[in-house]
Amino acid sequence: MTDPGPGSGAGAGRDREAGPSAGLERGAGPGAVRRRRRRRVWAAAAVLLVAATAGVVVATRSATGADPEPAAPARPPATAKVTRTDLVDRVQVDGELGHGPATAITGRRAGTITWLPEPGRQVGRGEALYAVDAVAVPVLFGATPLYRELREGVPAGPDVLVLEENLAALGHADSTPDDKFTAGTARALRKWEKAAGLAVDGVLAPGDVLVLPGAVRVHALTARLGAPGEADLMTVTGVERLVSVELADSRRPYAVAGAKVDVVLPDRRTAPGKVRAVAEKADAKDGGTLLLTVALDDPAAAPESGRVRVVLSGERREGVLAVPVQALVALAEGGYAVELVDGRRLVPVTPGLFAAGLVEVSGEGLAEGQEVVTTA
């Protein structure tokens, strides 16, 4: 019987099956083998990368010799200093630039209106404001209107004084004005009547002239030519450039006659001025509106008309400690405090006047120059 030898038999058959495809699953080709090899390479690289990174961290810690020290407390994002200053409570309100409030003019001469001035016209002492039956009605200045016919022999009175003062101002008096209508008053009156083109008789009736506080500017006409002379004729204002302000009665403390103000003009320039008068607005429906008249220090600096902002001053505190309003901290137990940057501790304070973004504060342990935390 022949010996199969080393290359024959079952073992040889298994060796032949292993051949060049050893390790392959049944049915797997060369492509699968390459894919498995690539995965092993990438896995090995990842392990090495992690190990290298860990080595850097460890090396770094070893090189420093200790963990980093804790960071210092962060400084507040915003701070401010406690200052000693003067505080003034101010408000800004709307105003209308023009010539002050308008006043209605009512005629007192019977007849037909034959001439009226155009709006915007300025009328001074002795000048005609309108005409009735082709006769001018001039303006005289004074505080007392004519309430009776003035002629030689009438009793003394304030209306006589008004007449004589105007005759003197117009250059027709020959004596010092007083409240007595004398023969000299009659002579001066006739001189003025002749110069003004009026009937020269030395007699002045209430409807012959119109007594006003001063020169006026015609604001608007309410009558027309041909209408009766004894009626509403027009509205007038003063000739000075003024600012009219309507103010709620709740803000009355800001409405002080003679107080200084700042007026922000339409071009954003600021012009100083003064409150000339404070009055109740006659046509206010709620009965709680004040009308302020503000005079500019330099009227020529402002335009004829336009909307403006008027800065009014109210309560004042001098030499008080103050901090920004944002520095106030409301306490859970009630009241307020400020937080000092030094030591980050709270100091209870009592708020006072609020003005211009600042608040007056007082409290034990609070001093000028200390730095406090704010929110902005």
The residue-averaged pLDDT of 30-58 equals: 38
pLDDT at 141 over 70: yes
How far apart, in whole angstroms, are the C-alpha atoms of residue 130 and residue 43?
A: 111
Instruction: Tokens for 316, please give them.
Output: 């004042």
Print burial letters for 255-267: b (CB count within 10 Å at least 16), e (below 16): beeebebebbbee
Contact (CB, 8 A) for 210 and 223: no
How far apart, in whole angstroms, are the C-alpha atoms of residue 242 and residue 81?
A: 41
The residue-averaged pLDDT of 14-19 equals: 36
Listed in sequence order, the residues at least 6 apart from 176 whose beta carbon sits closer than 8 Å to its beta carbon are: none
- pLDDT, tens only, 185-240: 999 999 999 999 899 999 999 999 999 999 999 999 999 999 999 999 999 999 99
Per-residue pLDDT, 358:
96
User: What is the H or E stretch that residue 361 is in?
Assistant: strand 358-362
Instruction: Tokens for 16, please give them.
Output: 């032949």
Least trusted range by pLDDT, from 50-59, 121-130, 261-270, 289-298: 50-59
- pLDDT, tens only, 280-307: 886 655 558 999 999 999 998 898 889 9
pLDDT at 348 over 70: yes
The residue-averaged pLDDT of 56-83 equals: 58
DSSP sequence for 24-64: PPTT--HHHHHHHHHHHHHHHHHHHHHHHHHHHHHHHHHHH
How far apart, in whole angstroms, are the C-alpha atoms of residue 248 and residue 68?
A: 65
The residue-averaged pLDDT of 93-122 equals: 95
Instruction: Tokens for 102, please give them.
Output: 């308008």
Listed in sequence order, the residues at least 6 apart from 286 whose beta carbon sits closer than 8 Å to its beta carbon are: none
Q: Considering the chain, what is the average pLDDT of its residues?
A: 83
Per-residue pLDDT, 40:
43
Per-residue pLDDT, 96:
94
Strand segments (E) across 187-343: 210-212, 216-221, 232-238, 242-248, 260-264, 270-280, 289-296, 306-324, 329-330, 336-340
pLDDT at 21 over 70: no
pLDDT at 110 over 60: yes
How far apart, in whole angstroms, are the C-alpha atoms of residue 309 and residue 119?
A: 26
Listed in sequence order, the residues at least 6 apart from 314 whose beta carbon sits closer than 8 Å to its beta carbon are: 88, 89, 90, 91, 253, 254
Selection from 350, 108, 321 nearest residue 228 by Cα: 108
Contact (CB, 8 A) for 200 and 171: no
The torsion of the CA quartet 295, 298, 302, 303, rounded to 10 degrees, works out to 90
Contact (CB, 8 A) for 96 and 304: no
- Under DSSP, is residue 96 helix (H, G, I), strand (E, B) or coil? strand
Per-residue pLDDT, 288:
80
- pLDDT, tens only, 73-94: 566 789 999 999 999 999 999 9
The residue-averaged pLDDT of 117-121 equals: 96
Listed in sequence order, the residues at least 6 apart from 298 whose beta carbon sits closer than 8 Å to its beta carbon are: 271
Q: 84 vs 80, 87, 314, 323, 349, CA distance in Å?
A: 13, 10, 20, 9, 15
HSE-CB for 255 with a 13 A CA cutoff: 19
What the chain holds in terms of domains, given with CATH numbers, is: 79-88+317-373 (2.40.420.20), 91-99+239-315 (2.40.30.170), 119-218 (1.10.101.10)
Per-residue pLDDT, 69:
55
